Amino acid sequence: MTPSPIRVAIVGAGPSGFFAADALLKAREDVRVDMFDRLPTPYGLVRYGVAPDHAKIKAVTKTFERTSGDSRVRFFGNVDVGKDVTIEELQARSHAVILSVGASSDRSLGVPGEDLAGSLSATEFVAWYNGHPEYVDLNPDLSGRHAVVVGVGNVAVDVARILSKSVDELRSTDAADHALDALAQSNVETVTILGRRGPAQAKWTTKELRELAELENADLIVDPAELELDPASEAVVADSPAAQRDMEILRAAAAQPPQGKPRRLTIRFFASPVALEGEEGHVRRMMVGKNRLEDRDGYLAAVATGEEETIPADLVLRSVGYRGVPLAGVPFDERKGVIPTDGDRVLDEHGEPIPGLYACGWISRGPSGVIGTNKPDAVQTVETLLAEPSLPEPDDASDEAIPALLASRGVRFVGVEGWMALDAAEMAAGEASGRPRVKVTSVEAMLEKAGSAGT
Ligand code: NAP
């Protein structure tokens, strides 16, 4: 039997953390949920990852607001678990800890010149235009004419779309003010998306691809020769209605002559970056290698043909996947960039479950799927937790234990009321200019708007 009431700490207040909290509240009346986040603000990638011009996707925060409004839930924002408090300290004050910290880093390309100025990860660029306080000073150089985005997933599509739109199309969004100012000065004229495999292997979703074909400010350019499919890719498309729709969009774009819009967005396939070349430390060109597909046990791999060309590249955004970062005191699989689990329970170095420690979302599963994909994942983790025959007995699971620990460390945390005050201030600032909100982008200003600590 699990204890009553049961106190669960959730580390990471992004979508997975909120879905886990909601599942706990629904499953048991006698539950207390403490949600922790490194930043003073909740919602993780919904706030700092979802593109500003995708307001509808952010509507999920309405559900999260209901969860945080439940009297059984507390929010401890601005608490860096692993630094301000340890996992062991949370375990000593909770019956169980769920880790839902997401994947905040990125994968690199591993090609020469990747570290030149002007070559960034899409992860950083996204965090910058979304007002993440740690990326306010990124200052991506938009003074050149040619941007290249590597990867054909939805993040690549997001950053390519933001670079292709006019700033006026973004002014009514919650993009950070510093990003709007910089994008207003952008000299970017061409944006090239590079897929290392073919159109049938692209990872984007149809809705996102279609938006690229409907941009007001940019012509979508696709080379019809790159849409010719080998038999294995034909079979992939024949089996997938989504891939068929994608091919229709791409073929229509390939057949359409450019309309003379201000920017050109080109999608290339079978093309990998081989090296970045610069002038005075700044990237200016990309050497691109042509690929063909090779069937490796059913996986169609990109294999270099040896044919290479050089394209102009003043800004390079690698968008080849997010990657989890280790959390102090918790096992980490460096190769996969995730916390090792059996699906729900965190595993120690012998592959044995660590009692009372769970993980869900990207840090457990890897960075895949849309926001909603994290719901069944979190629900399943909560079901596993609540079905345990027993949970470790904490030293002190009282309501006071965690606030007392934070107070003893001098950690100033933002509670639900503090977040609501900050949220209201941002929305009020937005209302004046017809935007959903004007984001506060420094931790100091967030703490000030949130007022004094409270839950
Ligand atoms: P992703 O979907 O995994 O796409 C990564 C892309 O990078 C793939 O095209 C992959 O190609 C390519 N890639 C990997 N290594 C490469 C290399 N060394 N050289 C060249 N290309 C390489 O990842 P993501 O775009 O970061 O998105 C993460 C998740 O968030 C996805 O599930 C995505 O759908 C989701 N998301 C959703 C939305 C939305 O719903 N609007 C928005 C943003 C993100 P291969 O296939 O060849 O490996």
pLDDT along the chain (455 residues), means of 10: 87 98 98 98 98 96 97 98 98 98 94 98 98 98 98 98 98 98 98 98 98 98 98 96 98 97 98 98 98 95 98 98 96 97 98 98 96 97 97 97 97 97 97 95 97 56
**Residue 130 is encoded by which pair of tokens?**
């979304």
Give the per-residue pLDDT at 452.
56
> Are the C-beta atoms of 103 and 127 separated by less than 8 Å?
no
Which residues are within 8 A (CB) of 160 and not within 5 positions of it... i.e. 6 or more apart? 147, 149, 191, 193, 212, 265
Choose the residue to mutate in 124, 319, 320, 370 for probing ligand 1, maximizing ligand atoms within 8 Å of C-beta.
Answer: 320
Which residues are within 8 A (CB) of 96 and not within 5 positions of it... i.e. 6 or more apart? 6, 8, 9, 356, 357, 358, 385, 391
> Are the C-beta atoms of 20 and 9 separated by less than 8 Å?
no
d(CA 286, CA 284): 7
Distance, CA 322 to ligand 1 centroid (Å)? 8
Distance, CA 122 to ligand 1 centroid (Å)? 11
Distance, CA 157 to ligand 1 centroid (Å)? 9
d(CA 115, CA 104): 19
Residue 183: CA atoms inside 13 Å, Cβ hemisphere, count?
24
Give the per-residue pLDDT at 370.
92
> Are the C-beta atoms of 369 and 103 separated by less than 8 Å?
no
Choose the residue to mutate in 196, 269, 300, 365 for probing ligand 1, maximizing ligand atoms within 8 Å of C-beta.
Answer: 196
- Every domain of the chain with CATH number 3.40.50.720 lies at 6-104+324-450
Q: Whose CA is nearest to atom 13 of ligand 1?
A: 320
Q: How far apart are the first and last CA of the chain?
A: 29
d(CA 68, CA 251): 46
C-alpha torsion sign, points 73, 77, 79, 80: positive
**Residue 68 is encoded by which pair of tokens?**
């945080």
Ligand 1 residue neighbourhood (C-beta within 6 Å): 54, 109, 150-156, 158, 195-197, 201, 203, 205, 208, 272, 319-322, 367-370
Taking the CA of residue 322 as reference, the ligand 1 atom at the shortest distance is 26
314: nearest Cα among 93, 149, 85: 149
Element (H, E) at 386: helix 374-386
Residue 427: phi, psi to the nearest 5? -70, -35
What's the CA dihedral at 203, 371, 99, 159 to 10 degrees?
60
Give the per-residue pLDDT at 4.
83
d(CA 50, CA 278): 31
- CATH 3.40.190.10 for domain 6-104+324-450, yes or no, is no
Give the per-residue pLDDT at 428.
96
Give the per-residue pLDDT at 1.
56
Distance, CA 213 to ligand 1 centroid (Å)? 19
Q: Whose CA is nearest to atom 36 of ligand 1?
A: 154
- Every domain of the chain with CATH number 3.50.50.60 lies at 107-321
Give the per-residue pLDDT at 211.
98
**Residue 127 is encoded by which pair of tokens?**
């965090």
Taking the CA of residue 54 as reference, the ligand 1 atom at the shortest distance is 41
Which residues are within 8 A (CB) of 366 and not within 5 positions of it... i.e. 6 or more apart? 103, 324, 336, 337, 338
Distance, CA 216 to ligand 1 centroid (Å)? 25
Distance, CA 321 to ligand 1 centroid (Å)? 5
d(CA 211, CA 281): 35
Distances (CA, A) of 87 to 9, 83, 96, 176, 359: 10, 9, 11, 33, 13
> Are the C-beta atoms of 275 and 286 separated by less than 8 Å?
yes
Q: Write the burial class of residue 80 (CB in 10 Å: 0-12 exposed, 13-18 middle, 19+ buried).
A: middle
Residue 350: CA atoms inside 13 Å, Cβ hemisphere, count?
3
Distances (CA, A) of 388 to 345, 349, 350: 11, 21, 20
CATH code: domain 107-321 is 3.50.50.60
Looking only at the bridges linking them, the beta strands covering 345-347 and 353-359 are antiparallel
The three-point CA angle 275-281-282 to 5° equals 70
Which residues are within 8 A (CB) of 173 and not within 5 positions of it... i.e. 6 or more apart? 52, 53, 55, 435, 436
Taking the CA of residue 208 as reference, the ligand 1 atom at the shortest distance is 41
